Chains A and B, each alone.
Chain A
């Protein structure tokens, strides 16, 4: 079941496009914004509302990196592992995060505080290494400041 708020936002997006199905990515984003991830139940509800098959919607949902089809933690750490960050030593940042959080890429801490994901280029290559937590971009990272950064996310 979608909430009234979710339906209102999705209908706003549907009104902007000539074909109803064209709003499906926006709908996935809206529901994920509210619930953190897209469960099977959410997927079925969105598909019914958009009037497309659940299979087709799932093919879209699983195509994009940032639609989560598994539960994620309250805070998402996206560590850039692309070339400029590789040259500038993202692997040391990753080692430190693994040791601190005791999780690898693709995993969530048992208290659901953090999910750690690799991420393709964040577009701040002149300030590598970089990572993003939720909406915040951190540049010119050093291991020394990582613990302080993590502390601000509860």
Chain B
């Protein structure tokens, strides 16, 4: 089984430096793309590989790139690696950032070449201190080796790369909010259209891609679109980084083919539930995805299958709800996070999220009323897709609406018994 993204990652040693990375085939993607391919050819092969955005949205990466206007060669354009991983329960990009920073940098050089961007940023969340140190070192090495800077590999292509570390706020992961943060503004999302591909950072065409997405690029360039598709036995191409946190024996992160089932991940890779704990549900792709329950354990973790089961693949990092954890307390914790991280720009999100948080807290504390459940249902509609400025509140409503569906009896028990049965 091939594991292109993690094959050179080991935590028994520091990540590969540039020479060692080159020794195992690193930067061949840059050589191949810049010396033997046109930007259009790079874009086409990525589009044909069907690499979908690994940040959660799942849009075809090559198609996203193709929206960048390419007619004016002198036009300033930007490429940005979204390394703001802040979704609760998500920790996959950290592995790639700390484990093989040169792979990301190589992916960014090739991607910048494809859209002919001459400036690239890595937008890194502040908490990833180790990643920041390793990335700075790797960027310096790439400059020294001539993979960054002017006239890369004597091709006439120039690329400057900067590391930007954030100062906190979940909303910075939203691509247009990220652009505002990079411009030194409050990180509120922007209206779309215009899309960033046309008018992004400082009003220039900009591509924002997730770290895992970009780290796949060198391998696709080296081995081709068909190879990438063949990594997976089903319709979604490639491998995926899957993670599990919660009361399992071995929480962790694994690179596996798309289509691995939830049951395989929990039982084979995470070693099953800890002794004395039973599985009750799972958020399959981070805090902003709908619960799945026992009947969904054989669902394959790919974009289509998870959607068909009523949730989203999201980041592919799963959070397990066990039978010793109160579902109401669990969802209250999530809504507390979303309420706190709302940027405050649009009313449904700014007002609605704290409202749901307060209702959930009162139910958890034994002061809830049955009509509160209808009120919560109402909020899941008012903050659903299309009612808010960006995807934060609709994402926040996903675990809430599915908890009301699957764990309604637990909510009712809190209300009837006037206390949390778990406390």
Contact = CB atoms under 8 A, between A and B. Distances in A.
B245 A87 contact: yes
Given A67-B167, A123-B128, A125-B89, A88 B246 contact: yes
Nearest to B270: A126
B187 interface: yes
Which size class do B's interface residues fall under? 35 or more
Contact of B337 (A16, A64, A82, A126): A82
Interface string B325-363: 100011001101100110100000000000000000000
B200 to A, nearest CB: 13
Contact of A125 (B165, B181, B319, B325): B319
Given A19-B202, A82-B337, A60 B128 contact: no
Interface residues of A, number: 40
Interface string A34-76: 0000000000000000000000000110011111000000000
Given A126-B251, A126-B252, A83 B319 contact: yes
Contacts, number: 130
Interface in B295-311: none
A21 B184 contact: yes
A59 B186 contact: yes
A87 B320 contact: yes
Contacts of B341: 120
Interface stretch (B80-88, B189-197, B225-233): B80-88
A125 B127 CA distance: 13
Given A60-B186, A63-B186, A120 B337 contact: yes
B245 A128 contact: yes
B325 A87 contact: yes
A83 B334 contact: yes
Nearest to A18: B202
Given A60-B185, A126-B91, A126-B245, A87 B169 contact: no
A102 B268 CA distance: 44
A46 B300 CA distance: 52
A33 to B, nearest CB: 11
A92 to B, nearest CB: 13
A13 to B, nearest CB: 10
A153 interface: no
Given A125-B88, A126-B243, 8 more contacts: A22-B184, A29-B167, A64-B168, A65-B169, A66-B126, A82-B88, A84-B89, A121-B86
Interface of B: 85-91, 93-94, 125-130, 162, 165-170, 181-187, 202, 243-247, 251-253, 283, 287, 317, 319-322, 325, 329-330, 333-334, 336-337, 340-341, 343
Interface of A: 16-19, 21-26, 28-29, 59-60, 63-67, 78, 81-84, 86-88, 119-128, 132, 135, 137
24 contacts: A16-B162, A21-B183, A22-B202, A26-B184, A59-B186, A63-B187, A64-B187, A66-B167, A82-B89, A83-B88, A86-B333, A87-B245, A87-B247, A87-B319, A87-B322, A88-B247, A119-B127, A123-B125, A125-B88, A125-B243, A126-B251, A126-B252, A128-B245, A135-B129
10 closest A-B pairs by CB: A65-B168, A82-B88, A125-B245, A126-B251, A84-B245, A64-B167, A121-B88, A22-B184, A66-B168, A24-B184
